[in-house]
Structure 1
Amino acid sequence: MNNIYWTSFKTFFRIGMFTLGGGYAMIPIIQGEIVERHKWMNEEEFLDVLAIAQSCPGVFAINISIFIGYKLRKIKGAVCTCLGTALPSFLIILLIAMFFHSFKDNCIVEAIFRGIRPAVVALIAVPTFNLAKSARITLTNCWIPITCAMAIWALGVSPILIILIAGTAGYIYGRYIRPIE
């Protein structure tokens, strides 16, 4: 019999260890492991977890892992997945801090990080498009995130205000305009 706590810890530890680019770059890997490989949740549940994790304060990858772990085995599951996600980054940063002075001016290290940047952009862009397709976002309703981004960037509108307006509009839409049956 497979221990779900150990399996979930190992799964998230591996994701945390081998993903560059932060929480958004982890999305396709987490989705592959959770939805496709282990079948701990379906695509719709995963999209819901992503939406909730994005709206909560804190580190996105940790939020996702906590929600998935909690769904699997409540508090103990959340602790296992959270530790599995956070521990690799903590250990890597600790090692880098210990040896940073010896390679901070190394041109090879600089070149590696310059080369990683475009790959990280692709790692974030691909799941964004896939999730938009799964959430049935089309060209007719993609004006919402574009308008929000422009309001933040060009007009200096607070992202907090955008989140509050979007949450209120989503609630009104889901409750009164198109209720879920």
Structure 2
Amino acid sequence: MPTNNFRKLISIFWTFLRISPLTFGGGYAMLPAIHREVVETNGWMSDDEMTELLAISGAAPGGVGVNVSALVGYHLAGIRGAVAAVIGITLPTFIIVMLLSMVYAILQSYPKMQAIMEGIHAAIVGLIAAAAYKMAKSSIIDKMTLFTAIATVLVLLFIPISPILVIGSGFVVGIAVVFLKQKWGMKDPFASKETKSQAPMTNRAADYFIADGI
């Protein structure tokens, strides 16, 4: 393996290894840290590319944090990059969860432990809200995306429906809206991004459903 490729794999592994133990709540609570490291700190991807990966990760089975890590790693270094990222994001969590489980089993009845857990729960809400805000800045680009995001949140909050059905509906709506706008000669919300990203329309249209995990 060339030295440059090996260094990139180590960099990917180390980046996600550092993210995992510092983010409580997993999943969407990890997204602000992943975004900061991948887009802002290392400059590996643009905001638009990251948003597209988040849309795909939210629609795929499994934890969104692991999904995003795998997709980022694959984007940077193929299969080996995906493996390095997934190992990095999961290894600390596995060790920490094992240790915390033993500690919590002993101290769960203590009032201070209960207070700590309540504080962590509140912090997780803030982390998820921050992730939603950053995703919304690049995903809600017109009235239709705004309507879809609001409708998705309301459906998930008040209707007992499987998220899989909502995700599938989001893909259909996204593709249909882009197709109809292009057919009717309306302004294409993705036209300004064509020079930045050549992703297939199915991936770009998935941005219409970025609220599926909120």
TM-score, normalised with respect to structure 2: 0.76
1:58 counterpart SS class: coil
Q: CA deviation at 1:29?
A: 0.9
Corresponding residue number in structure 1 for 2:50: 46
Q: For 2:113 and 2:159, how far apart are their aligned partners in 1?
A: 38
Question: Could you tell me which of 35, 53, 60 is aligned with 1:56?
Answer: 60
- Deviation (angstroms), 1:13: 0.8
* Cα displacement (A) at 1:5: 1.0
Deviation at 1:46, TM superposition (A): 0.6
CA contact (8 A) 2:20 2:92 kept: yes
So what's the TM-score if we normalise by structure 1?
0.89
Cα distance in 1, alignment partners of residues 95 and 169 from structure 2:
39
**C-alpha RMSD of matched pairs (Å):** 2.1
| 1:159 has 2:202 as partner | no
Point out where structure 2 has 5 or more consecutive residues left out of the alignment. 183-187, 195-214
Residues 129 and 118 of structure 1, relative CA distance in 2, 3 Å threshold: same
Pairing 1:71–2:49 present: no
Deviations 1:35-63 (A, max 9, x none): 11111111111111111100100011000
Q: Distance in 1 between matches of 2:55 and 2:128?
A: 16
Cα distance change of structure 1 residues 141 and 78 upon mapping to structure 2, 3 Å threshold: closer
Counterpart amino acid of residue 99 in structure 2:
L
Contact kept? 2:140, 2:146, Cα under 8 Å: no
Structure 1's consecutive aligned runs of 4 or more residues displaced over 4 angstroms after TM superposition are 137-141
Percent of aligned positions with the same letter in both sequences?
A: 35
Inter-partner Cα distance in structure 2 for 1:46 and 1:34: 8
1:91-133 per-residue CA deviation (whole Å, 9 max, x = no partner) reads: 0111123444322222222111111222111111122112212
Change (3 A) 1:115 1:34: same
**Corresponding residue of 1:105:** 109
Cα 1:115–1:97 change in 2 (3 A) is closer
- Match of 1:12, SS? helix
Return the offset for 1:177: 2.4
State the number of aligned residues.
Answer: 181
Letter in 2 for 1:54: G
Structure 2 Cα separation of the partners of residues 45 and 152 of structure 1: 26
Q: What is the alpha-carbon distance in structure 1 between the residues aligned to residue 9 and residue 47 of structure 2? A: 22
Matched residue, 1:82: 86
Structure 1 partner of 2:208: none
SS in 2 for 1:142: helix
Deviates more, 1:69-78 or 1:132-141: 132-141
Corresponding residue to 1:123 among 106, 122, 127: 127
Cα distance in structure 2, aligned partners of 1:12 and 1:155: 36
The 1:88–1:47 alpha-carbon spacing in structure 2 relative to 1, beyond 3 Å, is same
1:168 matched to 2:172? The reply is yes
